[in-house]
Structure 1
Amino acid sequence: MNAAAGKPDKVIIVIVSAVALLVIVAIAVIFTRGEPEALSEATPAGVVQRYSTAVIEGDPGTADSYLTESARSFCNGFIQGGPPPSRVVLISTNERTESATVRVSIVYSFQDGLFGPSDYETEDRFSLVKADGRWLVDKAPSQLLSCVPSPVKR
């Protein structure tokens, strides 16, 4: 009787050990996956990735370096409202010889909703043009506009 009573204990120990191992592996995967892969700056998606990162990190100077003159002039009188998005996810890229369209999902994360943390997601697109062999953002979604303040003339 004692031998039969000991067998279920061993099975439970094996099951609990297997579950613990799976949890440890899952945690290791989550913490080691790191940053998303940087796309080539020679591609429209790579330019959008760098531009969006600069906007989200609050670096308007870097973001401005990816804009055409036309896109910069659009900023005149524009007032940015609200917090920047949490992340931008690439949906698709349509590249042509001298222009490209990059569709993205723009995600906002909020920590203090009525039911806890929540996300809001919307789709939009970037328009890019090739100037001097380099891709530049000609039109960005309004949520991702980064306008460098111009000095006030006195």
Structure 2
Amino acid sequence: MTSNFSAARVVLVAVAAACVALVIAALLVVALRPSAPLHEESTPEGVVQRYLLAYEAGDLDAVRDYTVDGESRQLCNPESLGSGQLDIQLIRSTASGSRASVHARIEGGDSTILPLLDGSSYEDVFELRMAQDRWLIERMPWQVGLCTEKELGY
């Protein structure tokens, strides 16, 4: 009976070690993932990237500078600024005249803990327009959004 107990203990330790190794491997994959190249600020993609970097850093003034009607915009969800809970990847963009759209894949939750199990991702769009000879964001996904006072009901 003792040999069965020892065999079960060995199997349990082996399974636990495999789980720990899998978690470490997943963390290494996430940590060593290359960052996206920074686009030119004069492009719609570059404006969206800088907007997201400022949003992640919690710099509301810089975030407003990349939006149409920036002075009248406020956080729709004050807790979200600088929370770092989203992974947003730019997929493609289209531009026509003074309008542009930047499509992004948004992955919610904290995917750094269990990146392989986080399945909450979807696509959304940043809409931009040319104003004052530069691209400005007119509409953004709600998770990283600013609202005008009118939209907030003031």
TM-score for both structures, normalised by structure 2: 0.61
Q: How much has 1:131 moved relative to structure 2?
A: 0.7
Inter-partner Cα distance in structure 1 for 2:144 and 2:49 = 11
Q: Residues 123, 85 of structure 1: CA spacing in aligned structure 2 closer, same or farther, 3 A cutoff? A: farther
Residue aligning to 1:101: 101
Task: Identify unmatched segments of 5+ residues in structure 2.
Answer: 1-27, 149-154
Inter-partner Cα distance in structure 2 for 1:72 and 1:93 = 26
SS of the equivalent of 1:101 reads: strand
Q: For residue 134 of structure 1, what is the amino acid of its counterpart?
A: R
Name the count of aligned residue pairs: 116
Task: Identify unmatched segments of 5+ residues in structure 1.
Answer: 1-26, 149-154
Stretches of 4+ aligned residues off by more than 6 angstroms: none
Residue aligning to 1:55: 55
Residue aligning to 2:23: none
TM-score for both structures, normalised by structure 1: 0.61
Q: For residue 90 of structure 2, what is the amino acid of its counterpart?
A: L
Contact 1:86 1:108 in 2 (8 A): yes
Q: Which has the larger radius of gyration?
A: 1
Inter-partner Cα distance in structure 2 for 1:73 and 1:93 = 27
CA RMSD of aligned residues (A): 3.2
Per-residue CA distance 1:9-61 (angstroms, 9 max, x = gap): xxxxxxxxxxxxxxxxxx8xx74x65321100111011011101111222211
